[in-house]
Amino acid sequence: MGIGYAAAYRAHLTPWEKASRRQRPVLEVLLDREEADRPDRTRRALDLGCGRGAHTALLVERGWDAMGVDSVRQAVDVAVRRNGLDDARFVVGDVRHLVHSGVGVGFDLFLDVGCFQSLDTAGRAMMADNVTALAAPAATVLVHTSATRARPGWGPQASLEDLQRSYLGWDVAQVADARTVAGTWFRLTRG
């Protein structure tokens, strides 16, 4: 998982960042909903596969106590330097082993923009188990998967069924008003 992304970062080939910027307006609407569900309290978020930290920074700007985790040290180093956020923390860690990465527990929101879909079936189940272990009782997972037609070099795709198979005990729903040509958003809530 990390070797391919590490090579891409070294070669400055990060097409997922451009796609992610196009998703920002949709993400902002989804975050509006999550914030409305959690008024007047500290909200904790974990940005899974944070890369260079753009989404982690967005969460902090919006008042979340946010942390980003990524397995590529180079990306995390850039996230720390680029964002200069006192209120955000970045951790080099594997999303399949979050429990042992030192990120803590009690997260209200997990943000996954393309991370789940990059894993194989076993890795997806491990990631979901770790998210479940770190989640607060009323937690939400927002997952963005790229368009259903696979693009060369972008890894496997993920469907509603893939999420349901991995996130046992969670209700998984496609966000109907957030489907775009660049992919699909899903919202998972603890069942």
107-138 per-position pLDDT tens digit: 999 999 989 998 999 999 999 999 999 999 99
**What CATH number does the domain containing 185 carry?**
3.40.50.150
Q: Quote the pLDDT of residue 13.
A: 56
Q: Which residue has the higher pLDDT, 84 or 161?
A: 161
Range of the domain at 66: 2-190
User: Which of 90, 152, 155, 154 minimizes the C-alpha distance to 123?
Assistant: 155
CA distances (Å), origin 100, targets 91, 134, 142:
12, 11, 22
What percentage of residues in the chain have a pLDDT greater than 90? 52
Task: Domain count for the chain, please give it.
Answer: 1
pTM equals 0.85
How far apart CA 98 and CA 92 sit, in angstroms, is 10
Query: Is the pLDDT assigned to residue 159 strictly greater than 60?
Result: yes
Q: pLDDT by residue (tens digit) across 2-41?
A: 456 656 555 555 555 555 666 778 899 999 999 998 887 7
Kindly state the average pLDDT of the residues 81-107: 84
Q: pLDDT by residue (tens digit) across 53-65?
A: 889 999 999 999 9
